[in-house]
Amino acid sequence: MSLLHIENLKTYYRTSKGLVQAVDGVSIDVRKGEIVGLAGESGCGKTTVLNSIVRVLQKNAEIKGGRIFYNGRNLLELNEKKMQKIRWKEISVIPQSAMDALDPVMRIENQFIMVAKTDERNKPRKKISERAEELFSLVGLNKSRLKEYPHQFSGGMKQRAIIALSLFFAPNMILMDEPVTALDVIVQNQILNYIKKLQHSMDISILIVTHDISVLAKICDHIYIMYGGKIMEVAGTNELFNNPLHPYTIGLQKSFPHLFGSERKLISIPGYPPSLLDPPPGCRFEGRCPFAIPECRRENPQMEKAKDGHYVACYLYQKIGKLREKAFLGVSN
Amino acid sequence: MIEKIVEVEKLSKIFLFTRSLKEIILGKTEQGVRAVDDISFSIQKGEDLGVVGESGCGKTTLGKLLVRVYKPTSGRIFFKERDISKLKGKKLKDYRKKTQMIFQNPYTAINPRFTMYDFVAEPLLIHNIGKNEKERKEMVFEMLNKVGLNPPKEFSGKYAHQLSGGERQRAVVARALILRPEFIVADEPASMLDVSLRAGILNLLKQLADELDLTVMYISHDLSLIRYLCNIIIVVYLGKFLEIGDTREVINNPLHPYTQALVAAVPVPDPNFKYQKVKIKGAVPTVPQEPSPGCIFVDRCPYVKSICKEEPPPQVKIDGGHIVYCHLYRGGREIK
């Protein structure tokens, strides 16, 4: 059974120009002990999905529909007070640019105390410190550094400190928003290995949001590809990379340079994502898709099962093999 | 004949810290960050050179020195056999006509009050090129067309906020190329763009470099990107070169322990890829160090020997222009 089951989630933003349909009917499953990746470009709504799960949305955002089951309970039915008990303890979040998420004028240890006191006002300081020290050694930081301020830490160390903080109540699930984006490759590699270790040793489920599919290739069990507020394709990591069916997924893969692979020309996907203010009735990728047929413009394709565990929202997925050979040859730009 | 377009000799740039009044009175010696530390190399005409390193390794400083945004602390830079390291005033302005830089962030590189026409035409006005407005207009339109901002007429009236990130970066490229420079420094030209647009800019740069007979020095933290664009690669660490060579050779057969770690750490878009183990730990030290007599990488090197702390690493030439600065290769490739 899934630990987290999101069903047809719709989160819209109210703006002066109208409703922005940032997340429009997204369904995601995360099983226990699994690392799931959610990939997409900026503005595709991937961060809004995360924020909707723990309900830390901006004021003008509204969850218009859908259900979010965590351990069988619908989180959207819980009131704020009950939700408070879920955050940190059951599901913790590592926000985007987590390195700036630490309070610069507070010692790291005190930030642990702040987190601890969300649960229990009078929790003895000593206990908190012990737990903090335990977590610090777990993420490979020296416990003496708990007394330091964030500016005395390097980027990678801050990222580790944030991960330690998110583990304080031993949650079952961590949501990570671009956890390694601002880091140098060697540090990035350390953090990724560490995340993988967490999954194995503590059986934690992790949902990672990022634009970098090579990071996902390295650590995820399943990958969701998101575009323009909708999920385009879902598959196990191997299946998705070896047998991508959605034109957008294929385009994404072709736009990444590979350090060792063949030296083919990189492909850029011409055009830009549609405005989510008044999205087209058809497929959201239609305007940039090299294979689009008239049907794509009329109606949005539904998620279809292509294979066990491989779902895709595209009218043409059965023919994609042939189309792929033809189309991406000679497309430059 | 192969023509050297840029040649650098023992180039250094040290950014000094400001001393407090107390420290000045007490006679404390001036300290600084050695961003570029005693390096020498040359770039041949038409070569695409890639400088790769982690943040804070001095790669951007090196780029800015070559286009003379910064003045070197010591050492010399030759552009077509002419020393440009100490140029000032009018002569410096003339030099800048021939070299340009493409900056990293297209969201801050464009004056928000300029239309794209103003933005791209500004270098022409500064250098007094083009007889009249009409001629300049032709040049700007031609360049906008070249970088793919079509139709130029429409784009020339737009402001930066009306453009997407990819279009902005194209405008930045147009401005850098309008003077028809011979040498370009491209500092992380695609890192601020969305993945699906990155390839577009990279392919554009590649194509324009060929078309306009440009020599380009790319600066990036991304090894895969450098591999895609460049034929020569330089690995930089804390202001020093560690390894230079043919891009494929360096990536497939890295010699320096740091390069080996870099290559092993790069994530690859292939879930079945077998990664090598990254042997080094920690991150680039941020605290500036006292100039030590030994190798700069000594604190993180997994193979460190006593000689590494005492003597600077020798320049070891392997073959085919592959050069590594490391004690491990003293006797050539075999000894390790």
* pLDDT tens figures, A312-333: 999 988 888 777 766 555 443 3
B131 CB-side CA count, 13 A: 2
Give the one of B222, B225, B261 whose C-beta lies nearest to A186's C-beta.
B261
Give me the percent of chain B exceeding a pLDDT of 90. Answer: 33
At A69, which amino acid appears?
F
The answer to whether the CB atoms of B55 and A332 lie below 8 A apart is no
Same domain, A190 and A126: no
Which A residues, 235 through 264, put their C-beta within 8 Å of a C-beta on chain B? 237-238, 241, 251-261, 263
A178 lies in the same domain as A55: yes
For chain B, what percent of residues have pLDDT higher than 70? 96
pLDDT 10s digits, A195-249: 888 888 888 999 999 988 899 999 999 999 999 999 999 999 999 999 999 999 9
| Interface touch B203/A333, C-beta < 8 Å | yes
- Shortest distance between the Cα of A118 and any Cα of chain B, in A, equals 33
Question: Which is more confident, A29 or B24?
Answer: A29
Structure tokens of A124? 């003895």
Q: What is the pTM of this model?
A: 0.86
Interface membership of B89 toward A (CB under 8 Å): no
Query: Are A146 and A263 found together in one domain?
Result: no
In angstroms, the separation between the Cα of residue B16 and the nearest Cα of chain A is 21
* B195, B251, B270: residue with CB nearest A41: B195
Instruction: For residue B297, give how far its alpha carbon lies from the nearest alpha carbon of chain A (Å).
Output: 14
Q: Are residues B36 and B184 in the same domain?
A: yes
Cβ contact, residue pair B273, A217, below 8 Å: yes
What is residue A87's DSSP assignment? Answer: B
Contact status of A151 with chain B (Cβ, < 8 Å): no
Same domain, A231 and A309: yes
Cα atoms in the 13 Å half-sphere on the side-chain side of B295? 27
Run of H or E residues at B192: none
- Chain B's closest residue to A238, CA to CA, is B271
Confirm if B182 and B112 have CB atoms less than 8 A apart. no
Q: Mean pLDDT across the stretch A46-51?
A: 91
Residue A315 tokens, joined: 């009218």
Q: Check CB contact under 8 Å for A41 and B200.
A: no
Q: Is the pLDDT of residue B151 over 90?
A: no
Percent of chain A with pLDDT over 90: 40
Question: Is the Cβ of B164 closer than 8 Å to some Cβ of chain A?
Answer: yes
Residue B151, preceding bond cis, omega within 30 degrees?
yes
Q: Report the complex ipTM.
A: 0.81
A269 at the B interface (CB within 8 A)? yes
CB distance B242 to B325 below 8 Å? yes
**pLDDT tens digit sequence for B285-335:** 765 556 678 888 888 888 888 888 888 888 888 877 899 999 888 876 544
- Chain A residues with CB under 8 Å of B268 CB are 214, 217-218, 258-261
Q: Is B276 on the interface with A (CB under 8 A)?
A: no
Among the partner residues A237, A252, A332, nearest to B196 by beta-carbon distance: A252
The tens digit of pLDDT for each residue in A159-203 reads 889 988 988 888 999 999 988 877 788 888 888 988 888 888 888
Q: Chain A within 8 Å of B231 (Cβ-Cβ)?
A: no
Q: Are residues B156 and B271 in the same domain?
A: no
Contact B266 A215 (CB under 8 A): no
Quick check: A105 contacting B, CB < 8 Å? no
Average pLDDT of B256-277? Answer: 89
Most B CBs within 10 Å: which of A185, A246, A252, as the mutation test of the B interface?
A185
| C-beta atoms of B262 and A189 within 8 A | no
Distance between CA B145 and CA B139 in Å, rounded?
Answer: 10
CB proximity list for B231: less than 8 A, separation 6 or greater = B47, B48, B246, B247
CATH of the domain at A75: 3.40.50.300
Instruction: State the first-to-last Cα distance of chain A, in angstroms, to the nearest integer.
Output: 45
> Are B267 and B149 in the same domain?
no
* pLDDT band per the 50, 70, 90 thresholds, residue B239: confident
Q: What is the pLDDT of residue A280?
A: 84
Judge whether A154 is closer than 8 Å to chain B, CB to CB: yes
What are the structure tokens assigned to B120, written together? 């791209």
Same domain? B235 vs B266:
no
Question: Angle CA(A45)–CA(A46)–CA(A48) in degrees, nearest 5?
Answer: 65
B41-66: average pLDDT: 88
**Could you give the C-alpha distances from A235 to A177, A217, A225, A244, B3, in angstroms and in order?**
20, 12, 9, 9, 52
Judge whether B59 lies within some domain: yes
What range defines the domain where residue B307 resides?
Answer: 257-279+291-336
Contact A40/B at CB under 8 A:
no
Distance CA A222, CA A37 (A): 6
Which residues on B lie below 8 Å from A254 (Cβ)?
Answer: 199
Lowest mean pLDDT among A136-140, B222-226, B247-251, B266-270: A136-140
Q: What is the count of structural domains for chain A?
A: 2
**Closest residue, chain B, to A267 (C-alpha):** B199
Q: Are residues A204 and A217 in the same domain?
A: yes
In a shared domain, residues B66 and B147: yes
Report helix, strand or coil for A11: strand
Q: Which domain holds residue A156?
A: 101-170
State pLDDT tens for residues B75-117.
999 998 889 888 888 899 999 889 999 988 888 889 999 999 9
Structural domain count of chain B? 2
* pLDDT number for residue B28: 78
A82 and A212 both lie in a single domain: yes
| Whether residues B69 and B155 fall in one domain | yes
Amino acid code (one letter) for B59: K
The answer to whether the CB atoms of A256 and B263 lie below 8 A apart is no
B137 contacts B78 by C-beta, under 8 angstroms: no
What gap in Å lies between CA B45 and CA B43, rounded to an integer? 7
Chain A interface, best mutation among B193, B195, B274, by max A CB count within 10 A: B195
Q: Are residues A232 and A314 in the same domain?
A: yes
| CATH number for B154 | 3.40.50.300
Has residue B284 been placed in a domain? no
pLDDT value, residue A327? 59
Is A76 at the interface with chain B, CB within 8 A?
Answer: no
Pick the residue with more confidence: A122 or B111? B111
Quick check: B278 contacting A, CB < 8 Å? yes
Task: Tell me: do B227 and B330 sit in the same domain.
Answer: no
Please check whether residues B10 and B107 belong to one and the same domain: yes
Asked, for residue B92, whether it belongs to a domain, the answer is: yes
